[in-house]
Amino acid sequence: MVGLSDSAVHAISGAAGGCIAMAVTYPLVNLSTRSQVEAKTKKESTRAAALKVIQRDGIAGLYDGLSSSLVGIAVTNGAHAASPRSFEEARALVLRSRNKSKGALSMAESILVSAFAGAATSILSNPIWVVNTRQTVRTTVSPDAASGSTKKVVEKRRGIIQTVLDILSTDGPAAFFHGLGPALILVSNPILQFTLFEQLKNLIIRRRAMRLTKGASIPPLTDLDFFLLGAVTKLFATSVTYPYLTVKARMQAGNAEGKSYASAFDGLRKIVAQEGVRGLYKGIGPKLTQSVATAALLFLAKEKIYIATRKVRSLLPPRFLFRLKHPDTVLFLQALVKTVVKAAA
C-alpha cells in the first residue's frame, strides 16, 4: 500500500488543529469585531459584551459569520496554494535584476516578495471578509441615516448568498472592496511578527551560548520556546497594527461611520477626533485573548491530532493515498495549514 507522506499528515493534522482552534475561539473574534464596529457604545468587559449578545441573539449569536470565515480561509488558501510557483517566479525576477540565475534572496528581498504575495491574497479574499463582517455585526443603517442619524437596526441572520445579494442591492459591487486599504496595510502584521521573532530567537541563542562552557554545543530551542516566542511576537504585531483592523471592520460593515472614511488614514484621524486614541483599540482584549488561546490550543493539541491522523491514513484506500502523496497536493495541504493557523490567530 502506498503510504501517505509525513508532509501530508502534518498538513492535514495542522489544518484540523487550526479548524478546531478557530471554532473554539470564534466567539472572541465575533466580540472583537462587534466592538470595533459599534463606535458609540461605552467600553465594556468581554464578559459583559458576551452576555449582551447572548441575551439578544442567543448562543448562536456568538458564531455569526463563522461559515463565511471558513469560506474566507478556503479562498485565502487557494491563493496560497499557488504561492510556491509565484514566489519562485518573483525570486527569479529579483535574481535576474542582480544578474544572477541562482542564489538566495536577502531578508529584505524575501520580505518584499512576501508582502506582494500577501497583498495579492488580500485583494482576492477581501470580498468574503466583507461578507463575514456584515454577517458578524448584522446591522444596517436606518433609512434616515442620510440626514445624519447613526441609528442602526439589527437584521435577521442571513446566509452567505443572501448577504452577498443584500450587499449588491444596497451598496453595489464596489462594496466588496471596502476596507481594502487597511487590509493591504495589515500585510505588515506577519512581517513585523517575523522580524521580531528572528531578533528574539537570536537574542535567546546568544544569551544561552554565553552561559555554556567553551566548546559546548548550543542546545536547540524547545517547542515551548517557539510557543512563547510566537505568542509574544503575535501580541506585539497585533497591538501595533490593531488600529487598522478597527478601521477595516468599520469600512466593511457598511455603517455610517465606515462610509464616511475616505481612506485608512482618514479613518484613523476621525476615530481619534471623535473617540480618542482609545477608540482605535476597541475590542483588542478579546482579540489578544483569542490569539494566545489559539496558539495554546494548537501547541497542546498538535501531537494528539497528528497521531489521530496517522491512524486515519491506515483506513484510506491506496488510490486515495497515492493522490494525496502527489507533490502538488502536499503543497496545497501545507498551504492549508499556514492559512488556517493564520486565520485562527
Instruction: Provide φ and ψ at 188, rounded to 5°.
Output: -70, -15
Intra-chain end-to-end CA distance of the chain, in Å? 37
| Residue whose C-alpha cell reads 489559539 in the numeric block | 294
Percent of the chain predicted with pLDDT > 90? 26
Checking if the pLDDT of 204 tops 70, the result is yes
Share of residues in the chain with pLDDT > 70 (%): 63
SS3 state of residue 57: helix
Separation CA 152–CA 249 (nearest Å): 16
Comparing CA positions, the residue from 236, 239, 255 lying closest to residue 34 is 255
pLDDT for 254: 82
Chain centroid, CA 162 distance in Å: 24
The residues with which 154 forms a beta bridge, in sequence order, are 139
Q: Could you write out the DSSP letters of every residue in 307-342? A: HHHHHHHTTS-HHHHHHHHSHHHHHHHHHHHHHHHH
CA-wise closest residue to 36 among 136, 146, 131? 136
Q: Is the pLDDT of residue 281 over 90?
A: yes
Q: How does pLDDT run across 10-40, given as a tens digit for each residue?
A: 555 555 666 677 778 889 999 999 999 987 7
* pLDDT tens-digit readout, 133-156: 999 987 544 444 444 444 555 567
Q: What is the pLDDT of residue 105?
A: 56
DSSP-assigned beta bridge partners for residue 312: none
Q: Give which of 342, 344, 340, 333 is closest to 84, Cα–Cα.
A: 333
pLDDT mean across residues, the chain: 75
Q: How many residues does the chain have?
A: 345
Instruction: Please give the residue that has the higher pLDDT: either 204 or 105.
Output: 204
pTM value? 0.73
What's the pLDDT band for 344 if we cut at 50, 70, 90?
A: very low
Q: What is the pLDDT of residues 215-264, one digit of tens each?
A: 777 778 887 888 888 888 888 989 999 999 999 999 999 877 788 898 99
Separation CA 81–CA 234 (nearest Å): 24
Cell numbers placing 106: 536577502
Task: Write down the number of H helices and E strands in the chain.
Answer: 14, 2
Instruction: Give the C-alpha separation, 6 to 310, whole Å.
Output: 9
Taking residues 117-125, report their average pLDDT. 84
Q: What pLDDT score was predicted for residue 332?
A: 46
DSSP H stretches of helix in 138-222: 160-170, 180-185, 188-211
Sole residue written with cell 470595533: 36
316-334 CB burial, b ≥16 within 10 A, e <16 = eeeeebeebeeeebbbbbb
- CB-CB contact of 15 with 296 (8 Å): no
Binning pLDDT at 50, 70 and 90, where does residue 305 land? low
Beta strands in the chain (DSSP E): 139-141, 152-154
Radius of gyration of the chain (CA): 22
Annotation: CATH topology of 6-344: Mitochondrial carrier fold (1.50.40)
Q: Which residues contact 57 (CB under 8 A, 6 or more apart)?
A: 64, 138, 157
301-309: average pLDDT: 66
The mean per-residue pLDDT over the stretch 176-205 comes to 89
Residue 157 has phi, psi (to 5 degrees) of -65, 130
Backbone phi, psi, residue 153, to 5°: -120, 150
